[in-house]
Amino acid sequence: MSGDDVLQRALECLPHGPEFRFLDRLTELDPGRSGRGEYLVRGDEPWLRGHFPGDPLVPGVLLVEAAAQLAGVVAQSDPQTPPLPGLKLAALRGVKFLGAVRPGEVVRLEARITGRFGPLLQARAEAFVGDAQVLSAELTLAGTA
């Protein structure tokens, strides 16, 4: 199965519609453990018009969402554990925004599952533009058991 097929299957397990997905492709996947992916900020996203006019940049909360979506893809791809229905971002810790992301840039995302407790998942995530780290966060995702 190709990386695009794995991504598509995993994305179908997430509760987001296509218009609110911030993950274009997987570049690496260790199912249930870790993954890397990318999101291209095309520049035509409607939210960029207002954040900020004349100097658009990706809102930090959407960087967190992109990281959470990658963590969800990693978690939902675990061959040992069935996908959790309704998996959603439930908590954040230690979130640091370390740089800005602008139209035309590719956000490289990394996520590692650090713990599983029934329907709760802990993950560590980072985002980069080129070699510059722009996000660091600890995430908790929750599904229904």
Catalytic residues: 51
One-letter amino acid for residue 5 of the chain = D
d(CA 124, CA 122): 7
Sheet hosting strand 106-117, strand order edge to edge:
25-30, 34-40, 106-117, 120-129, 132-142, 88-97
Report the Cα 131 to chain-centroid distance in Å: 18
Helices (H), 22-112: 60-76
Helix axes 3-12, 60-76, angle to 10 degrees: 100
CB atoms within 10 A of CB 112: 16
